[in-house]
Every structure is written in C-alpha cells, then in structure tokens.
Structure 1
Amino acid sequence: MYHIRVRACALIVENDSILLIQFTDEDGIHYNLPAGGTEPGETIIEAVKREAFEEAGVEVEVGDVVFVSENAPHMTGHRIHGLSLLFRCYIKENSMPKMPPNPDPNQTDVKWIPINELDNIILYPNIKDQIIQYVKGDLQNNRLIEEYKLKEQLI
C-alpha cells in the first residue's frame, strides 16, 4: 500500500456551469468532481478518463493540470493522506453526462451546477473559490492547495 493515495480529478466546465457528481448520505446532499484513485498499472491521465466515464458517463479529452490539492491527515483529521491532481477536461463530441449503470452507493445524480451558484452547495473538498478563480482566469495553473487551509462551508 502506498502512503499517499493519488486521485485523478476532472474539471469539466461548459456554458458557465461545472459538471459535478451528487451524493446523498446521512449528512445530506454534497457534490464532488468526477474523481477517484488511480489503479495499479494506470497512468494519471488514464485514471481521469476512467473516473469521468465511471461517475459521469462521459468520454473526455484531458487538458492541463489546473491545480494539485493535498489532504494531510495530521492537519485535517481524515484517515487517508491524499494528493489530488485536477485536470481541465473537455467532453468528447456525442458524449452526454448521465448516471452510470453502477454508481457508487451514495451517488444520486450527475448535475451541471452554474458557476455563480457554487456558493449554494457543499463541495468536497471546498475548492469553490479556486474553481471560480480558475474559470475567471485569475488562478494560475499548477497551484498547490493545502486542504487544511480551506475555509469551512456554512450551508
């Protein structure tokens, strides 16, 4: 087992909206980007494509790294030390977002959320400000986000 879990994340933005995966659990509704851990023998680019397809039913072209996010357990209290690489992705022609045939147990939808409504949802990790900055062109690529420094969500 690796001491750091590497996650591949897809940032898909179209028409001023972001494609997110909706989850419902004991804490209510929250959202995540299409994302997940890399599998043995898989490149990070292969993982981004697989996760976008498995969670959102879309085939994507993978673009540049937008930013890197670290979840350090000793700073956040989470169990797993994780490094997430977030890539700008583009949906291939004739591919439409949809619920996958075998969703994660708590996955309840695949939704386009308008960028200007991100403050009205719970997004894990809480990278709403960084996504907004990126979409506006105010965030430089390849920035490191330390999750323990992110602000708490009040909804």
Structure 2
Amino acid sequence: MADAPNPIRETDEDARTLAKGLIAAARFGALAVIEPETGLPTVTRIAVVPGPDGAPMSLISDLSSHSAALAANPACSLLLGEPEAKGDPLTHPRITLQCRAQRADKSALRAYYLGLYPKAQLYYDFGDFRMIRFQIDRALLNGGFGKAFHLTANDLGR
C-alpha cells in the first residue's frame, strides 16, 4: 500500500505573505487554553490587534477563566481568519498560531491599542484588564482548499 501524499505544501513567499496578512487584519480570534482545574482545553473568542512588532495582542480581564488558564500555563493557540459572507467557510484562509502568552506594558500600548480598537476605551483603564502579547512559536496556515502550510516564527518575521 502506497503512503498517502503529504497534504502540507512547502512554505513559500505567498504563504508567508498570506499568513502575515491574516495576522495584521485580525480583530477577533479564537483563543484555546488548558483549564488548570480540569486539564481540559477550552476555547473563547477574544478581541485581537497586531502589536507594533506585528505579534497579536489582546486586552484580557483577570476575571476571565482564560486569564487564569494563561497565568497557569502560557502555552496557547490562537485561530485567526474570519470567513467571508459568501462561499464555503472552509475555503477561506485561516491560521492557527501556537503561542506563548506574555504580559505587555498596558500603559505604554494604550494609544496604539485604542487607535486600532477604539471601543476598548470603555474598559481599557479598568484595573482588572491586562495587555497580553502572543509570542508565536509556529503556525499552521490553511490558505483554502488544498493549501496547507507549516510556518516557523522566522517565516512570520519573529
């Protein structure tokens, strides 16, 4: 019996450009963490913006369960890429980032973050909110049907 063909394509400049574009355009993402109490995965939708260095960032409340999960284990995944209004959602590009969550200087990033996400003005200065930067270790890009790639942090300019 012949081996099945590898569905992962060789990473090229088009894949790198698409991946960087998905990260830069993201304003929402699905964050996956491991709950410390159960050891089970959980996923939540979060607001996302690209940081000044291009790495995704999010403003997260200490009251959220995913904040506690990230404090216990900073390893996480972030799915970016929203399906368009028309067509099969599985044919639209998306990227899964395998990351490590790191606290960032919330006060230094205030003007930058609010410039990209002005509605956050309502809660940005609440004491329970922290800025989290997602340090990308590697990525899995699905550029549409038959366009799968593995990317390294170097592929994404990290």
Same fold (TM over 0.5): no
Highest relative contact order (Cα 8 Å, sep 6+), 1 or 2?
A: 1
Provide TM-score, normalisation by structure 1: 0.29
Provide TM-score, normalisation by structure 2: 0.29
